[in-house]
Amino acid sequence: MKKILIAAILLIIGFVIGLGMQMTLGGQNLVSLPNRVSQQTVVYENSVVTQVVKKSLPSVVTVSINTTVSQPSIQFDPFNPFSAPQLTPGQPEQIKENIGSGFIVSPDGLIVTNKHVVSDTTATYQVITNDGKKYDVTKIYRDPLNDLAILKINAAGLAQLPLGSSSNLQLGQMVIAIGTPLGQFPNTVTSGIISGLGRGISAGSPLGGSVEQLNNVIQTDAAISPGNSGGPLLDTEGQIIGINTAIAQGGQNIGFAIPVNVIKTLLQNFQANGDNFQQPFLGIHYTMVNQQEAVLNKIVQGAYIIDVVSGSPADQAGLHPGDVITAFAGQSLSGNDSQSLTRLIAQQKVGNTVTISIWRSGQTLNKQVTLVAAR
């Protein structure tokens, strides 16, 4: 009997100990599982976008134009209903209109936008920052070759956007665009991917009123509308990789941006020359032809001239559409480098006379060209 009682007591003690161990182990599992989960970091696409936007918005601006218009009034002779109406000049009226976007690149008030946004040299312009402050544009430096412009406002301590690189962009890479579409919706954010690289386009805006021929631009499906011109195209680190410039008419989700490396070259030239900054201008629209394309089209590699601007240095020197520029100022052009001619022109100064070698109908000709200031 005693043996049975002892066995029963031992059984009960074992059961209790086992239950306690199970509860302890269970408790440990319940405590440790949340700890392990809390140490994991999950990054979602929307968190990337919101962080970039939060960091970038203070550096994105809206560009507005101030123009003076006079609306004539029409008067009729009430005693002669068959008489011709008389037009009376109206009073001049100042009109302000948001026409584009831009972004701050220096704390002391340098802003980059598209040249076609500020193409009217008779108008005055104003910049509106993210916090609603308005600044008059005191100076404009235009680069029509690359459809870029640098605006100067009197300000200090502004937040600037970092310039990234467009050398290693990848198809499918995520991008973010910020601007003022249609001139009505400031701080509009869209996102998408890089859809294409190395495109050649005709760029312009119905709000700006001019068209430029551009090469080697970035194609994106991030929604871009008129008024987005001049705004930044950003990567997921919040760095500028391009400047939003154009959309494809008749297409959806097809936008284009000028690579940031072109902007960096422009800013380097500006910083080297300050207020004496003048961008040399040749006056052609071109596309680069590499060796394979040259063989297929029975021409030579270089810069194939699509169009020549009337009255430009290229026009005065006798360059024609269909010519291929093979060398500029003694430097051969590489058809694989879409910016080679742009860089060579940028290295010159206004007033310099350079030799341009062209291929025309199987013959090589040398032309002397005197560069003028871009306007």
Which domains does the chain show, CATH number per domain? 174-273 (2.40.10.10), 278-373 (2.30.42.10)
Our answer to whether residue 131 is catalytic in this structure is no
Sequence-ordered list of residues with C-beta below 8 angstroms from that of 44, at least 6 positions apart, any chain = none
Residue from 229, 338, 340, 357 carrying the catalytic annotation = 229
Distance between CA atoms of 285 and 147, rounded to whole angstroms?
Answer: 12
Residue numbers of the chain with a pLDDT score lower than 50? 19, 21-39, 41-43, 204-211
| Amino acid 92: pLDDT | 64
Our answer to whether residue 59 is catalytic in this structure is no
Our answer to whether residue 285 is catalytic in this structure is no
| Amino acid 356: pLDDT | 94
By CB atoms closer than 10 A (0-12, 13-18, 19+), residue 160 is: middle
| Amino acid 240: pLDDT | 94
| Amino acid 211: pLDDT | 47
Residue from 56, 59, 119, 147 carrying the catalytic annotation = 147
| Amino acid 245: pLDDT | 85
Question: How many residues would you count in the chain?
Answer: 375
| Amino acid 5: pLDDT | 52
| Amino acid 291: pLDDT | 79
- The pTM of the full predicted model, rounded to 2 decimals, is 0.65
Residue from 56, 64, 116, 166 carrying the catalytic annotation = 116
Which H helix or E strand runs over 30?
helix 2-38
Distance between CA atoms of 249 and 200, rounded to whole angstroms?
Answer: 14
| Amino acid 288: pLDDT | 81
Q: Which amino acid, residue 240?
A: I
| Amino acid 335: pLDDT | 62
Sequence-ordered list of residues with C-beta below 8 angstroms from that of 343, at least 6 positions apart, any chain = 265
Question: Count of CB atoms within 10 A of residue 243's CB?
Answer: 30
**Using the 8-state DSSP alphabet, how is residue 363 labeled?**
E
> Tokens in use for 205?
């805006």
